[in-house]
Amino acid sequence: MTRTTSIEAFARVSSLQYFCALLLLVGVASLPYGYYQFLRLIICLASAFLVYKSIRQKRPLSVAIFVVIALLFNPISPVYLKKDAWRVVDFVTAATFALLGWHSGRKSKNI
């Protein structure tokens, strides 16, 4: 993999993480239930993809974090929490996605 290809790959991953963070922050507001179903699906799929990428990059902490997020936002066997608890979870998960996206972006500049 060339240097440019590596940087582009990291940029796509960090963009996905920022996008997920944005969706989660929007989810902190009171929205129709359909948005939260959509949010569960997108966050679970994105987390599963990021688990795969983290395994390939040999980042065990990121693997563990994204596995927990994927399980928490799993649309097939949903976790049921009260609305206030979900707001906290959404905010913390958004911060996690943003922080890990920022970290991925920083690492890509050092490749």
| In the chain, % of residues over pLDDT 90 | 73
Residue 80, amino acid: Y
* Residue of 47, 88, 77 whose CA lies nearest to 64: 47
pLDDT at residue 102, as a whole number: 82
pLDDT at residue 21, as a whole number: 96
The DSSP letter of residue 110 is T
Regions in the chain scoring below 50 on pLDDT: 1, 7, 10, 109-111
DSSP string for 7-29: HHHHHHHHHHHHHHHHHHHHTTS
Tokens representing 109? 């500049």
pLDDT at residue 7, as a whole number: 47
pLDDT at residue 5, as a whole number: 53
pLDDT at residue 84, as a whole number: 93
pLDDT at residue 3, as a whole number: 52
Phi and psi of 98, rounded to 5°?
-65, -45
